[in-house]
Amino acid sequence: MACARQPDHGTPARDGAPVTLTIDGARVTVPAGTSVMRAASEAGISIPKLCATDSLEAFGSCRLCLVEIEGRKGTPASCTTPVADGMVVATRTDRLASLRRGVMELYISDHPLDCLTCAANGDCELQDMAGVVGLRAVRYGMDGANHLAAEKDASNPYFTFDPSKCIVCSRCVRACEETQGTFALTIDGRGFASTVAAGMAEAFMDSECVSCGACVQACPTATLMEKSVIEKGLPEHVVETTCAYCGVGCSFRAEMQGTEVVRMVPSKDGGANEGHSCVKGRFAWGYATHADRVTTPLIRERITDPWRAVSWEEAIAFTARRFRDIQARHGRGAVGGITSSRCTNEEVFAVQKMIRAGFGVNNVDTCARVCHSPTGYGLKQTFGTSAGTQDFKSVESADVVMVIGANPTDGHPVFASRLKKRLRQGARLIVVDPRRIDLVRGPHVQADFHLQLRPGANVAFINAMAHVVVTEGLADRAFMAERCEDMDAWEAFIAEPRHAPEAVEEITGIPGADLRAAARMFATGGNAAIYYGLGVTEHSQGSTMVMGMANLAMATGNIGRPGVGVNPLRGQNNVQGSCDMGSFPHEFTGYRHVSDDTVRAQFETLWRADLDPEPGLRIPNMFDSAVAGTFKGLFVQGEDVAQSDPNTRHVHAALGALECLVVQDLFLNETAAFAHVFLPGTSFLEKDGTFTNAERRINRVRPALAPVPGKHEWQVACELATAMGYPMSYGSAAEIMDEIAALTPTFAGVSFERLDRLGSVQWPCNDAAPAGTPVMHVDGFVRGKGRFMVTEFVATEERASRFFPLILTTGRILTQYNVGAQTRRTENSRWHAEDLLDIHPHDAEQRGIRDGDRVSLASRMGATTLRARLSDRMPQGVVYTTFHHPVTGANVVTTDYSDWATNCPEYKVTAVQVALSNQPATPAEPAGAPAAE
Ligand code: SF4
Ligand code: SF4
Ligand code: SF4
Ligand code: FES
């Protein structure tokens, strides 16, 4: 038997004043605006339907949901009829039954009668409705005109479109418009000739479709169907879990047959996604069972030796022996570890505890160092906590949205769909990005301003925005006076004429008048929200820019309510969580400094260990120390630093100098080439724990499969710590969360039991906020008063020159994910098989480069080759590439410059030269290396 479908009330929920009506004799009270169909459904009365589903606005086309309403003529459709006070509705009468049977008879007369062999047998609403209305015979026969021979479109790698089964209910078309916002589908033709079409394209694969799966989920028949279900059959049980790709943190149902995943379906009650998904979470999960996975521990004496498969016991003993020996010879501080933003909170917590208590050092850092560490620093300085201020739903209340250095339609697609919906409702949009990203102009979305700033000019830009606000009298003085401090010095600074938009035009590249107009819109357009990405943080002034955005939000009073705020779009699934879990060398969980005696004493008491009051090494310091010969042992949890960290040559030199490098991962990655120990990791489908997304939402990750290597990753950390002489054990991941809650005020109310009960919670979750905190800083900032920080613009030392006249900036695309270790092992590579260099046609012409030519990309650090794509999305002087394929080696060219406060690398500004090349796609020197996100 197929597993149960998610509940469907037929039409969306409303939030009007209460209205009471009678349905089939029962009194029902619902909010005004609710449809009769939904009111009935909420009262347990199910009305037959086909074209209605509660994720979409009612359409009223199938005429199956007819009802009778006292005092009204005819039989109105219950999906399009709103409730009214005192209304008396009948949903079951002989007349209605006969009408519904007639409707179904017409549908079935043009539908293949192959239910028993249909892939959707048991999961088809058309089949269900035939049963519900009691259809027993079809009078019309199948001989007349019909669509039964219509050809199937199997071009998409993940789903098929079989028009012979289509009832033209338009749910797919509406899902693509309303839920996804891509508008890839239309209904072609009229009347009997009506058919669903993928726009002007012949096939789905050639259309605008981005394979989000919304139409597949909305389709009530087998017309749009996952290929995995066609191949394997319907799932029979469900495990609720969380996507492991980006920081949106979508909730999913892993729909299973025994121990095999049949499909991933977004959960309608998922707090972050509310039933929507993107192509990665929905379809690109096959890497979890890919043949490349390493499932047994491997060790070797030297990195030139072949790997030897060993038992867990031998691998743990080998590692502990090496680390102990290193510490005996070189001191305690000669070892350390890097935690992963791909792993659960519980796994990260266990690793940092192993390092602090088991290794006895604070040499722990996380991959967030290379992406969002400036967010943590900047927001803590200004607001008092290292996290975004809003939930995603907040964007539904925004009137002006400013997107800075982020490309949500590719990087955070499910959030982008929410944003586009709000924009279609009339919210205004300011895009600040050197590239013309899709949001600038798309179906029914058009940015009011595209401020095409020069890479590296962020702080000059944000200061100019604030300058306009302050000098034109647009500041929210009441908010500033009541809620903030240190504004006098900031105001005096920001009002200086050198920050005027016109004065910084040369630096920003943005016409002063445009910047001024955008600032006015931001300050006066109602609720104004900032969303930003790595185009903000991965700069030498990343932290300054974060503080600059916080200043602007405070100066305009846009903090502390829905629709406003400063919101980092986090790259990896658990970046927020890995930072929360004490992964930075200077902080315990909840961002408390290791030098704080009171906090450290709590940890020492519970952990029964002496802890170092001095901060440990950051990742770049670890690498520098390794090259200098003072750092010898490194444990790397689920990260590929040899690919993802900047200046590959230096990273490789550091890794090559280590006496013991331990890599825990799914695949033998580039870093493993330097490793002495490889410990097999678990995929998200095997993990038991929690991820924390970009809105601080703690979501449960539940194991659909047993851990393939035989152990959970937190168990491995416990065993290694124990072998190092520090006994550490837990009975379950839930116990680890209990310890996190006991030690971390913002997590005090979090437990697996509460998460299972509430679905998810956003921290802070404690006695003051037992159900979590969707919007922060409502009545006061976490640090008391919001603090204005002076944000002086300092140009990066990386400059374009005669030899390196172009600026390279990097980003990612929808179908691939970061270094591509997972997505490259799925059909997603059909959309993006190689990284390309986008270059403005004028820059290309000057160099004699044509579209598709192979070009060399050289910086002061190194060179690589890739194919060029001429693109007028680029401004002149700036080139762009993605970094999903190791062969491209984007980090061969990135520099050592980094954020002054956090050492986050300056990935987004590299001076380069581009020239025609006849070399194959191999980085010149050294090998491998896409930039991190
Ligand atoms: S998969 Fe998504 S983008 Fe493609 S047609 Fe369906 S709803 Fe539209
Ligand atoms: S493909 Fe499915 S959802 Fe779309 S019109 Fe046909 S039956 Fe309805
Ligand atoms: S938006 Fe992010 S979290 Fe959601 S399905 Fe896509 S990759 Fe996964
Ligand atoms: S469900 Fe109401 S008209 Fe189709």
Contacts of 143 (CB under 8 A, 6+ apart): none
Do the domain assignments include residue 597? yes
Q: Give the CATH number, domain containing residue 846.
A: 2.40.40.20
Contact between residue 842 and residue 907 where contact means Cβ atoms under 8 Å apart: no
Nearest CA to ligand 3 atom 8: 281
CA–CA distance, 828 with 817 (Å, rounded to integer): 10
3-state secondary structure of 17: coil
Work out whether strand 26-31 and strand 18-23 pair parallel, antiparallel, or are unpaired.
antiparallel
Nearest CA to ligand 2 atom 7: 166
pLDDT digits (tens, 9 = 90+) for 434-461: 999 999 998 899 999 999 999 989 999 9
Number of separate domains in the chain: 5
Q: What is the pLDDT of residue 199?
A: 82
Shared domain check, 532 and 582: no
Rounded distance from Cα 181 to ligand 1 centre (Å):
9
Do the domain assignments include residue 814? yes
Best residue among 158, 180, 219, 273 to mutate for probing ligand 1, ranked by most atoms within 8 Å of CB: 180
Phi and psi, residue 664, nearest 5° = -115, 115
Q: Ligand 3: residues within 6 Å at CB?
A: 243, 245-246, 248-250, 273, 277-278, 280-281, 413-414
Rounded distance from Cα 416 to ligand 4 centre (Å):
29
Shared domain check, 526 and 616: no
Q: What is the pLDDT of residue 1?
A: 62
Do the domain assignments include residue 153? no
Domain that holds residue 535: 372-568
Q: What is the pLDDT of residue 917?
A: 87
Best residue among 211, 217, 245, 683 to mutate for probing ligand 3, ranked by most atoms within 8 Å of CB: 245
Q: What is the pLDDT of residue 94?
A: 95
Shared domain check, 645 and 727: yes
Q: Rounded to whole angstroms, what are the CA distances from 552 to 169, 478, 506, 608, 636?
A: 47, 15, 22, 45, 38
- Shortest-distance atom of ligand 4 to CA 51: 4
Do the domain assignments include residue 339? yes
Work out whether strand 806-810 and strand 878-881 pair parallel, antiparallel, or are unpaired.
parallel
pLDDT cut 70: percent of the chain above it: 97
Contact between residue 262 and residue 229 where contact means Cβ atoms under 8 Å apart: yes
Contacts of 504 (CB under 8 A, 6+ apart): 457, 460, 461, 463, 464, 498, 512, 793
Token pair of 395 as six digits: 């964007």
Shared domain check, 340 and 270: no
Q: Rounded to whole angstroms, what are the CA distances from 444 to 55, 425, 494?
A: 20, 10, 37
Q: Is the pLDDT assigned to residue 930 strictly greater than 60?
A: no
- Shortest-distance atom of ligand 2 to CA 185: 4
**Cβ(50) to ligand 4 under 6 A?**
yes
Rounded distance from Cα 210 to ligand 1 centre (Å):
6
Token pair of 428 as six digits: 């205004």
Contacts of 413 (CB under 8 A, 6+ apart): 210, 212, 246, 248, 278, 279, 814
Amino acid of residue 104: M
Nearest CA to ligand 3 atom 6: 278
Q: What is the pLDDT of residue 194?
A: 83
Average pLDDT over residues 280-292: 93
**Of 113-122, 164-173, 473-482, 574-583, the least confident:** 113-122
pLDDT digits (tens, 9 = 90+) for 713-728: 999 999 999 999 999 9
Contact between residue 930 and residue 886 where contact means Cβ atoms under 8 Å apart: yes
Shared domain check, 103 and 23: yes
Q: Is the pLDDT assigned to residue 903 strictly greater than 90?
A: no
Work out the burial of residue 848: count CB atoms within 10 Å of its CB; fewer than 13 is exposed, 13-18 middle, 19 or more buried: exposed
Shared domain check, 90 and 187: no
**Cβ(171) to ligand 2 under 6 A?**
yes
Do the domain assignments include residue 678? yes
Interior angle at CA 155, CA 150 and CA 157, nearest 5:
130
Rounded distance from Cα 574 to ligand 1 centre (Å):
27
- Shortest-distance atom of ligand 4 to CA 47: 1
Rounded distance from Cα 25 to ligand 4 centre (Å):
22
- Shortest-distance atom of ligand 4 to CA 52: 1
Q: What is the pLDDT of residue 906?
A: 79
3-state secondary structure of 63: coil
Q: Give the CATH number, domain containing residue 546.
A: 3.40.228.10
Do the domain assignments include residue 2? no
Average pLDDT over residues 377-393: 92
Work out whether strand 677-680 and strand 660-665 pair parallel, antiparallel, or are unpaired.
parallel
Do the domain assignments include residue 297? no
- The mean predicted confidence, pLDDT, of the chain is 92
Shared domain check, 185 and 109: no
**Of 301-305, 424-428, 595-599, 902-906, the least confident:** 902-906
Work out the burial of residue 303: count CB atoms within 10 Å of its CB; fewer than 13 is exposed, 13-18 middle, 19 or more buried: middle
Q: What is the pLDDT of residue 831?
A: 87
Helices (H), 233-304: 279-283
Provide the residue count of the chain. 933
Q: Rounded to whole angstroms, what are the CA distances from 765 to 389, 736, 741?
A: 14, 17, 9
Rounded distance from Cα 465 to ligand 1 centre (Å):
37
Beta-sheet strand order (sheet of 260-266): 237-242, 251-257, 260-266
Q: What is the pLDDT of residue 812?
A: 83
Do the domain assignments include residue 800? no
Q: Is the pLDDT assigned to residue 819 strictly greater than 90?
A: no
Average pLDDT over residues 409-420: 96
Shared domain check, 644 and 757: yes
**Cβ(172) to ligand 2 under 6 A?**
yes
Rounded distance from Cα 662 to ligand 1 centre (Å):
42
Average pLDDT over residues 418-444: 95
Shared domain check, 376 and 363: no
* pLDDT band per the 50, 70, 90 thresholds, residue 802: confident
* pLDDT band per the 50, 70, 90 thresholds, residue 799: confident
Longest dimension (CA), the chain: 92
- Containing 567, the helix (H) or strand (E) segment is strand 566-568
Shared domain check, 666 and 605: yes
Contact between residue 814 and residue 409 where contact means Cβ atoms under 8 Å apart: yes
Q: What is the pLDDT of residue 372?
A: 74
- For the chain, helix, strand, coil in percent to 5 are 35, 20, 50
- Boundary-marking domain end, from 568, 584, 613: 568
Shared domain check, 885 and 845: yes
pLDDT digits (tens, 9 = 90+) for 494-526: 999 999 999 999 999 999 999 999 999 999 999
- pTM of this structure: 0.93
DSSP character for 4?
P
3-state secondary structure of 691: strand
Q: What is the pLDDT of residue 919?
A: 61
pLDDT digits (tens, 9 = 90+) for 688-714: 999 999 999 999 999 999 999 999 999
- Boundary-marking domain end, from 289, 322, 354: 289
Q: Give the CATH number, domain containing residue 638.
A: 3.40.50.740
Q: Give the CATH number, domain containing residue 81.
A: 3.10.20.740
Contact between residue 772 and residue 418 where contact means Cβ atoms under 8 Å apart: no
pLDDT cut 90: percent of the chain above it: 77
Nearest CA to ligand 4 atom 1: 49
pLDDT digits (tens, 9 = 90+) for 212-234: 999 999 999 999 999 999 999 99
Best residue among 179, 210, 224 to mutate for probing ligand 1, ranked by most atoms within 8 Å of CB: 210
Best residue among 61, 123, 160, 169 to mutate for probing ligand 2, ranked by most atoms within 8 Å of CB: 169
pLDDT digits (tens, 9 = 90+) for 288-335: 989 999 999 999 999 999 999 999 999 999 999 999 999 999 999 999
- Boundary-marking domain end, from 521, 549, 568: 568
Instruction: State the ligand closest to the CA atom of 167.
Output: 2
Q: What is the pLDDT of residue 141?
A: 62
Q: Is the pLDDT assigned to residue 865 strictly greater than 50?
A: yes
Nearest CA to ligand 3 atom 2: 246
Q: Give the CATH number, domain containing residue 283.
A: 3.30.70.20
What does 590-627 look like in DSSP terms, one character per residue?
Answer: GGEETT-HHHHHHHHHHHTS---SS----HHHHHHHHH
Rounded distance from Cα 692 to ligand 3 centre (Å):
13
Nearest CA to ligand 1 atom 4: 209
- Shortest-distance atom of ligand 4 to CA 78: 2
- Containing 461, the helix (H) or strand (E) segment is helix 458-471
Contact between residue 80 and residue 33 where contact means Cβ atoms under 8 Å apart: no
**Cβ(170) to ligand 2 under 6 A?**
yes
* pLDDT band per the 50, 70, 90 thresholds, residue 933: very low
Shared domain check, 502 and 443: yes
Query: Nearest-CA neighbor of 697 among 397, 395, 346, 391?
Result: 391
